[in-house]
A = this chain, B = another copy of it.
Amino acid sequence: MRAPEGDLAEHAADLLERLRARQPRVHCITNAVAQTFTPNVLLAAGAIPSMTVSPDEVAAFSARADALLVNLGTFDAGRRAATEMALAQVTKDGKPWVLDPVLIDRSPPRADYARSLLAHRPAAIRMNAEEFATLSGGGLPQDFAASWGTIVAITGETDIVSDGSRTFSIANGHPLMGRVTAMGCSESALVAAALALEPDPLKAVAAAVLIVGVAGNIAGEAANGPGSFGVHILDALFNLDRAALRARARVSS
């Protein structure tokens, strides 16, 4: 029997091959800070980003995308209107969407809005521990995932990915990931790309989280600080292969 570590590394390598071959389109409603790094992460990994938040055309872009990201890092009326239209479109089309409730622990109205979006059934929610505590009001990731029928991905020193019944712990990544803005936002976009390709949502999310973590390990070894880390992780995503995923994956389940 193959160990689960090995399985997830293989799944991640398979997913990366499909990403590069099929180049899924991910429409991103995201914050102003992440508007450049997010598409660069998607492009480095093989996906095709689009980024408009204009209510005049977000439905058209969502209709042509394979998955949607809704990131709350900028919380304005225009983006909320765009989000509503985009969610209506992807729900109608049966496409997956990912919620990234950025910094909801710092803004009560943003937290309320994040909670209201749960009714739209995100395929996955990626966040840090503080954001999860605010969103869930306490409790275990497993319980939250089960009760909302979603995949919960909580990233930090060790990443937790759970669908309620199965849970992966992924101990890849690097401390410099916390020193580059929009790193988590971009990871959420890659989760959306993975969900566009892989029908098992737990596997999709865990594989995307592992891919970013291993790229972070490689970048961390090459970097002299957060500036070069931000450059190297894009190169690492572009060059990542099965051998590196196998050798570096630190997964338990």
Contacts and interface: CB of A to CB of B under 8 A. Distances in A.
Interface stretch (A1-9, A74-82, A117-125): A74-82
Given A44-B225, A234-B226, A54 B75 contact: yes
A238 B223 CA distance: 12
Interface band, chain A = 35 or more
Contacts of A56: 75-77, 109
Contact of A238 (B33, B106, B179): B179
Contacts of A179: 43-44, 238
Copies in the complex: 3
Contact of A39 (B181, B231, B238): B181
A51 interface: yes
Interface in A150-188: 178-182
Contact of A181 (B36, B107, B226, B233): B36
9 nearest A-B residue pairs (beta carbon): A227-B234, A225-B235, A225-B238, A227-B231, A39-B181, A54-B76, A57-B107, A227-B235, A32-B35
